[in-house]
Amino acid sequence: MKGQMFLIAGIILLLGIITLANIMNIYSVFEEMRHTEASDMNYRVDNIAREYEYMISAMSSQSQINSNNIRSFTENITQYEDVEIFFLLAYANNSDYTMWAGNYLKDSINFTANMSYSIIPDWNIFLDDKSVSFIINNATITDIEINISYTLNNENEKQSLPMRITNNSIIGFFDVRLNENDNFAKKRIFVNRTW
Amino acid sequence: MGKRICGDTNMVKAYLYTIELMITLSIVFLIITFVFNAPSFRPDFGKNVIKKSIINSAEYMYYNDELRKFMENNNESLVEARIIQMVPDTITIEVSDNCDTANLPQFLDVYRVKYYIAGYQERYFFKRICISGWEQ
């Protein structure tokens, strides 16, 4: 009788092992699929962020600097992708600088910027979705710091951006979030060009 | 003598139990080896391989600015030719700048990657390019 018990225990053990083997196979398939989906979203958000970087570089060699291309690209992207984008662009020439803030976060936001050593030290605005606002400012020293804050998905985002305003320089800050089904990929980039 | 017979019977039983246990354990280990030797079903990694091949070749072209340069002149055929050089021979590639689906096969699994281009050198333009691939 004891021998039969060993056999029965062995059969139960085997059934358990076979079940485990099946579960492990399914897990590896899901893992692989999830990995591919994640890398798919990553390359897409990297692509969008890199295009902003490219545009900032291209703008540094143009005579007239404005936010039109950035705005146009953002509006085109929102037509095809489920994206939420916030951008800040600043261009300095001698002691003057111009800042543009763009909201494409699918909701209106309160945007705040504090600029060190500037004639206008604070910029507080209410920005509607799909809108861009700008301010022209003047600084008393060469290196200033721009501290910005805005709300994205109920989270207060803060960013500190250094800027040099002696020569021609341009800075861009882009916060891009790509949504797909229940997943999202997010990328924040800061681009700084001086010439 | 009677005790000895009883003791012998117990010893024989003990040997039998030991042999049964060892047979059971051997069977268990044999089946473990058999079960884990190969997956019980073959996972379909083919589609991920196609997608990964397309992404890798497109990324290569994107990061060395070939994609940007070709798309400035709407030269999808050049993009297609370069991608075909980089992916396995079993994959058919179709490149479209407006992402239409007219030339794609209806009854095969098609995998598609999208890229956005915001200009080349100092010139701004907006391009959306779709690279589709399927196994022949």
pLDDT by 10s per residue, chain B, length 136: 455 566 677 777 787 888 888 888 888 888 877 777 765 555 565 677 888 888 899 999 999 999 999 999 889 999 999 999 999 888 999 998 878 887 888 888 888 889 999 999 888 999 999 999 988 7
- Tell me whether residue A23 is in a domain: no
Distance of alpha carbon A195 from alpha carbon B47, whole angstroms? 47
- Tell me whether residue A27 is in a domain: no
* C-beta atoms of B20 and A73 within 8 A: no
Residue A6 is nearest to which of B24, B68, B117, comparing CB atoms? Answer: B24
- ipTM for the assembly: 0.78
- Tell me whether residue A20 is in a domain: no
- The pTM score is 0.76
Per-domain boundaries in chain B: 1-43, 46-135
Phi/psi at A121 (5° precision) = -80, -25
Q: Is A9 on the interface with B (CB under 8 A)?
A: yes
Q: How far is B56 from chain A (nearest CA, A)?
A: 10
- Tell me whether residue A3 is in a domain: no
- Tell me whether residue A12 is in a domain: no
Q: A195: burial class by Cβ within 10 Å (0-12, 13-18, 19+)? A: exposed
- Tell me whether residue A106 is in a domain: yes
Distance of alpha carbon A185 from alpha carbon A44, whole angstroms? 9
- Tell me whether residue A6 is in a domain: no
Q: B20 to chain A: nearest residue by CA? A: A3
Range of the domain at A188: 40-194
Edge to edge, the sheet with strand A155-164 lists A122-127, A109-115, A143-152, A155-164
Burial A138-175 (b: 16+ CB within 10 A, else e): ebeeeebebebbbebeeeeeebebebebeeebbbbbbb
Q: Is B84 on the interface with A (CB under 8 A)?
A: no
Burial B35-46 (b: 16+ CB within 10 A, else e): beeeeeeeeeee
The string of pLDDT tens digits covering residues B101-134 is 878 888 888 888 899 999 998 889 999 999 999 8
- Tell me whether residue A161 is in a domain: yes
